[in-house]
């Protein structure tokens, strides 16, 4: 080996062979570097993770699990997968880990596959209240093949209404109860969710995609001791490659592994598995633990800054990496806010708020997250600046170029990928 450009990302050969795609890759890098990336589910993964993704592991078929593959030549990828599994078990203090799901949705299909049959009842937070498509939306397999029951947040506090969860659980006797969401800024009481699941004999599944990175960094409590199974994506706060992962209790290990392969997937993406292992090693460092704490401090500063600008943080604030903002007080829809921010080089997404009177593609709110800007090294003073940029962008019908110039200046001072890459 020795020559890192042979197997790592090799811009020169890509540029020569396919300048069209090469220029788009560089253009995307510049887009991301030139503006503020505030999508709560995105991050800047490390060059080491990217190198594993751009490796010859991508070539290897490895259906099965370490030591039990359907193809020859798997001894090397076996080693990497075992390292990754052991790192995951240690980091999260979990009995069992499966690193093969291609994505969060794939991981979630496997959870259904392990614990339910079509037609079974599953109780989860409604999509309209902050849940996820795979938790029972009618447009997803989960709503088409299962009988989803949705729980809500309390309309006043906008916190999960655990009495509502318990009442629905007793009424519908679900096979599985889901904790976890895509637009819920607060901590979930996993112990209470476990108690409710036990009262009705349900499996407790925590979809930890959004906050597992904060758990890895020991910045918030872990769902692992309470849940039968925890699924998540590896590319959000966790800062790994795009992909999924599942942790579970020992008694469910076989069911989960069988549901991932062969029930739901074929050949695993071994470059992704190796990259997950790299990310898990990074997560076990003191630097990452500090990062996870900073992510929360920054999200809280953003929340305060945006509140001071007249936007209403749903539930009054955040305990995590994301802030959900009701824009009704400033008289702008989520759709328009997203567009105006885009024109100002601020990337975020429109988002329904609980009990939103507007349709999801218009929405009354926006969702902002701190994982990427925290990776860039920004702190509380920059969050105040960012809140001001967002407010200027959202409230103005023109002049976004000028805001974009200011945004660009800030981003240049905290470059993503400062190393020559």
Catalytic-labelled residue, pool 121, 134, 182, 233: 233
Place of tokens 């349709």: 359
- CA distance linking residue 127 with residue 270, whole number of Å: 32
- CA distance linking residue 194 with residue 203, whole number of Å: 9
- Residue closer to ligand DSN, measured from CB, 64 or 241: 241
Of all helices (H) and strands (E), which one includes residue 177?
Answer: strand 176-179
Q: Are strands 121-125 and 147-151 parallel, antiparallel or unpaired?
A: parallel
Is 104 an interacting residue with respect to ligand DSN (CB under 6 A)?
yes
Q: How many residues bind ligand DSN (CB under 6 A)?
A: 4
Active site residue 236: yes
- Residue closer to ligand DSN, measured from CB, 39 or 358: 39
User: Is residue 78 a contact partner of residue 268, using CB atoms and an 8 Å limit?
Assistant: no
- CA distance linking residue 104 with residue 100, whole number of Å: 11
- CA distance linking residue 22 with residue 39, whole number of Å: 25
Catalytic-labelled residue, pool 89, 218, 242, 384: 242
DSSP string, 80-113: HHHHHHHHHHHHHT-SEEE---SSHHHHHHHHHH
Least spacing, CB of residue 11 vs ligand DSN, in Å:
29
Active site residue 63: yes
Is 182 an interacting residue with respect to ligand DSN (CB under 6 A)?
yes
Least spacing, CB of residue 104 vs ligand DSN, in Å:
5
- CA distance linking residue 8 with residue 176, whole number of Å: 43
- Report residue 231 as tokens: 């699924």
Tell which positions 109-138 bind ligand DSN, by CB under 6 A.
Answer: 132
Distance, C-alpha 212 to centroid of its chain: 8
Is 370 an interacting residue with respect to ligand DSN (CB under 6 A)?
no
- Residue closer to ligand DSN, measured from CB, 108 or 121: 108
Active site residue 61: yes
Least spacing, CB of residue 41 vs ligand DSN, in Å:
3
- CA distance linking residue 262 with residue 113, whole number of Å: 11
Is 41 an interacting residue with respect to ligand DSN (CB under 6 A)?
yes
- Residue closer to ligand DSN, measured from CB, 41 or 303: 41
Least spacing, CB of residue 302 vs ligand DSN, in Å:
17
- Residue closer to ligand DSN, measured from CB, 69 or 135: 135
Annotated catalytic sites, by residue? 61, 63, 207, 233, 236, 242
Q: Which residues bind ligand DSN (CB under 6 A)?
A: 41, 104, 132, 182
């Amino acid at each position: 080996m020795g020559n890192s450009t042979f197997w790592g990302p090799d811009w020169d050969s890509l540029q020569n062979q396919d300048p069209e795609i090469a220029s788009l890759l560089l253009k995307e890098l510049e887009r991301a570097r030139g503006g503020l990336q505030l999508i709560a589910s995105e991050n800047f993964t490390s060059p080491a993770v990217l190198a594993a993704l751009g490796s010859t592991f991508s070539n290897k078929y490895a259906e099965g699990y370490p030591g039990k593959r359907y193809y020859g030549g798997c001894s090397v990828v076996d080693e990497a997968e075992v390292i990754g599994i052991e790192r995951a078990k240690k980091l999260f203090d979990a009995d069992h880990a499966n690193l093969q799901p291609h994505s969060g949705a794939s991981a979630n299909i496997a959870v259904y596959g392990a614990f339910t049959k079509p037609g079974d009842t599953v109780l989860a937070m409604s999509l309209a209240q902050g849940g996820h498509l795979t938790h029972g939306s009618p447009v997803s397999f989960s709503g088409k093949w299962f009988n989803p029951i949705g729980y809500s947040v309390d309309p006043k506090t906008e916190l999960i209404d655990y009495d509502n969860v318990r009442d629905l659980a007793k009424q519908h006797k679900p096979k599985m109860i889901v904790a976890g969401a895509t637009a819920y800024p607060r901590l979930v009481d996993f112990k209470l969710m476990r108690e409710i699941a036990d009262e009705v004999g349900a499996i407790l599944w925590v979809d930890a995609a959004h906050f597992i990175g904060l758990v890895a960094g020991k910045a918030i409590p872990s769902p692992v001791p309470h849940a039968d199974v925890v699924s998540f994506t590896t590319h959000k706060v966790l800062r790994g490659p795009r992909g999924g992962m599942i942790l579970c209790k020992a008694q469910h290990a076989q069911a989960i592994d069988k549901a991932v392969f062969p029930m739901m997937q074929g050949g695993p993406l071994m470059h992704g598995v190796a990259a997950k292992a790299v990310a898990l090693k990074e997560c076990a460092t003191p630097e990452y633990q500090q990062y996870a704490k900073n992510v929360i401090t920054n999200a809280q500063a953003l929340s305060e800054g945006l509140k001071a600008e007249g936007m209403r943080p749903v539930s009054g604030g955040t305990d995590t990496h994301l802030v959900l903002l009701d824009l009704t007080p400033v008289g702008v829809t989520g759709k328009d806010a997203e567009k105006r921010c885009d024109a100002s080089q601020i990337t975020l997404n429109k988002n329904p708020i609980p009990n939103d009177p507007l349709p999801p593609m218009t929405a009354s709110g926006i969702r902002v997250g701190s994982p990427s800007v925290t990776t860039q090294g920004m702190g509380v003073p920059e969050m105040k600046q960012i809140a001001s940029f967002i407010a200027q962008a959202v409230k103005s019908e023109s002049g976004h170029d000028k805001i974009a110039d200011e945004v660009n200046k800030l981003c240049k001072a905290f470059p993503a990928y400062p190393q020559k890459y």
